[in-house]
């Protein structure tokens, strides 16, 4: 299982008056890390959009448990991997480590879609090609 390790520096503007990361920022980092994970296995989104007619990888669910705070200047690592493949969706697991300590544990569920034949402006979930799944093994 391929894992991507994404280094993030916590900047001043990422933190709030409690001097810790304002939590929605973790989800932005999850989103970035998912994209970088795909890049790292040779599947950049632009290539997928062209080859498979997907329109991004729409998110249908996101979750996080916040176990320890991160502060200004912390150098954290987001470790991301696909932890579950379903027929038309997949789950990306994200673990944020701060000096080796597990700070956040989360996941995103994303869906593989194509334009609807009857209405191309709308999307419908379709099966994920086997070669996509194989690329993460």
Q: How near is the Cβ of 87 to a second copy at its closest, in Å?
A: 18
Q: Check residue 39 and report its DSSP letter.
A: H
Rounded Cα–Cα distance for residues 33 and 36 (Å): 5
d(CA 13, CA 133): 37
Q: What is the DSSP string of 2-37?
A: --EEEEEEPPGGGB-TTSBB-THHHHHHHHHHHHHH
The CB-of-94 to a second copy minimum distance in angstroms stands at 13
> Any contact of residue 43 with a second copy (CB under 8 A)?
no
What number of chain residues touch a second copy (CB under 8 A)? 31
Return the bridge partners of 125, or none: 113
Q: Does 24 bind a second copy (CB under 8 A)?
A: yes
62 makes contact with a second copy (CB under 8 A): yes
Answer for which of 55, 115, 125, 126 binds a second copy (CB under 8 A) is 55
Q: Which of 50, 61, 75, 84 binds a second copy (CB under 8 A)?
A: 61
Report if residue 65 touches a second copy, rule: CB under 8 A: yes
Q: Which of 5, 27, 43, 115 binds a second copy (CB under 8 A)?
A: 27
Dump strand ranges (E) for the chain: 4-9, 59-66, 75-85, 89-98, 101-111, 113-116, 119-125
Does 99 engage in binding with a second copy (CB under 8 A)?
A: no
Tokens in use for 50? 């062209």
List residues near a second copy by CB under 8 A.
Answer: 11-13, 15-19, 22-25, 27-28, 31-32, 35, 55-56, 58-67, 69, 72
């Amino acid at each position: 299982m391929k894992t991507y390790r994404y280094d993030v520096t916590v900047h001043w503007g990422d933190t709030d008056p409690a001097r810790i990361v304002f939590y929605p920022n973790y989800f932005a980092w999850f989103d970035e890390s998912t994209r970088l994970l795909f890049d790292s296995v040779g599947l950049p989104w632009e290539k997928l959009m062209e080859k498979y007619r997907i329109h991004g990888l729409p998110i249908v669910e996101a979750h996080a448990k916040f176990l320890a705070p991160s502060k200004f200047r912390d150098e954290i690592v987001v470790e991301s991997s696909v932890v579950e493949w379903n027929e038309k969706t997949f789950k990306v697991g994200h673990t944020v480590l701060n000096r080796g300590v597990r700070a956040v544990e989360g996941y995103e569920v994303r869906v593989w879609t194509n334009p609807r034949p009857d209405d191309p402006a709308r999307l419908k979930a379709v099966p994920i090609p086997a070669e996509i799944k194989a690329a993460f093994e």
